[in-house]
Amino acid sequence: MGCSKWRAAFNFGHLRVQSKLSVFFTMIILFTYLFYCLNGYCDSLPRPVYDQQSNYHNKIVVNDGHETSARQPGAYNASQVSFVREQLSDFTNSDSPSNNISIANNFGSKKFPQAIIIGVKKGGTRALLEFLRIHPDVRAVGSEPHFFDRFYDKGLEWYRNLMPRTLDGQITMEKTPSYFITKEAPRRVFSMSRHTKLIVVVRDPVTRAVSDYTQTLSKSPGLPSFQNLAFRNTTTGLIDTSWSAVRIGIYAKHLENWLRFFPLSRLLFVSGERLVTDPAGEMGRVQDFLGLKRVVTDKHFYFNQTKGFPCLKKPEGSSRPRCLGKSKGRPHPQIPSEVLLRLRDFYRPFNLKFYQMTGHNFGWD
């Protein structure tokens, strides 16, 4: 009798230990799974059927350099796409670290950019891109890819993989201001897609040159003076066009290179000055050019007196408004007025030709 009681107690205790061990190991497996998923390692796991269909549906077909979607039976319909876009637009356009979670990245597909901001350096390209990223139908690369000027040998597939995923109806974009002055860039962009829309942010070339110099000076304090770099001979006033800060501002020369491959209708010229004084008006033109609904309006902006340019108003759920970084809006060094006048005289004929080519007077003279 005593042995029976002892045996029963042992069996019960053994079962209780087994139960605890099962729970313990189950919890370890769950926590491990959650840890790896939150760190983006779940992409290799089998995905739901609807996700496989969405990727198949959005598979890129390049025909004559133009991207199209391959629509297959069983793929999600337009109403489902709209619903997903509404649910994810704020999430996928934010700069928060949560964008790296793999479940969000599995929606849509990676495509070549339909629009590229190709220039110009210190013209306002970063501001334009940040303003555009408010739009729920715009998905853009944050950093500058420099594919068509520095990394072209890596191939188009490498370039496409840099792009964010987009849904049907969304536009993929990137910006690299040095494309505008790169001789090979127009042909290379055209080879990718002749349908690419090109945006050029331009600014008074004299002011732009000083801004360019200011940025370089902040990185290299021992830099020679602006006038020593701008002139080959300060006595004769001969301008040194080999200096990049001067060369970039000869917009007409660079535009001629692009017009050999793209019609003027494929290019939009954004005024860097108006992007500061009337950001909503200029953004309206940009959205129209891209075929987007005018979502970004004056309600999104306020003028920051300290920085001297517009900032985005505080988004919902954020504790502060969004302004460009400290590197933007630096105070310019004092440049002798006679130096600026000589430089303005140098640019005048190029500006007039640029006005004629674009059909727009930017008022720099």
What single string gives the DSSP state of each residue in 274-342?
HHHH-HHHHHHHHHHHTT------GGGEEEETTTTEEEEPPPTT-SS-B---TTSSPPPPP--HHHHHH
Q: Which residues contact 365 (CB under 8 A, 6 or more apart)?
A: 344, 348, 351, 352
Per-position b or e across 248-259, b if 16+ CB within 10 A of its CB = bbbbbebbebbe
In a domain, 149, yes or no: yes
Q: Per residue in 245-292, pLDDT tens?
A: 999 999 999 999 999 999 999 999 999 999 999 999 999 999 999 999
Residue 344 annotated as binding site: no
Residue 321 annotated as binding site: no
pTM of the full structure: 0.71
In a domain, 293, yes or no: yes
Q: Which residues constitute the domain of residue 152?
A: 108-205+244-329
In a domain, 79, yes or no: no
Residues annotated as part of the active site = 122
Residue 165 annotated as binding site: no
Query: According to the model, what pLDDT value does residue 47 have?
Result: 42
In total, how many domains does the chain have? 1
In a domain, 159, yes or no: yes
In a domain, 283, yes or no: yes
In a domain, 168, yes or no: yes
In a domain, 166, yes or no: yes
Q: Is the pLDDT of residue 79 over 70?
A: no
In a domain, 36, yes or no: no
98 CB burial (10 A radius; 0-12, 13-18, 19+): exposed
At 318, which CATH number? 3.40.50.300
Q: Per residue in 53-76, pLDDT tens?
A: 334 333 333 434 444 433 333 333
300/57 Cα distance (integer angstroms): 34
72/175 Cα distance (integer angstroms): 33
Residue 139 annotated as binding site: no
Residue 281 annotated as binding site: no
Q: Which residue has the higher pLDDT, 145 or 8?
A: 145
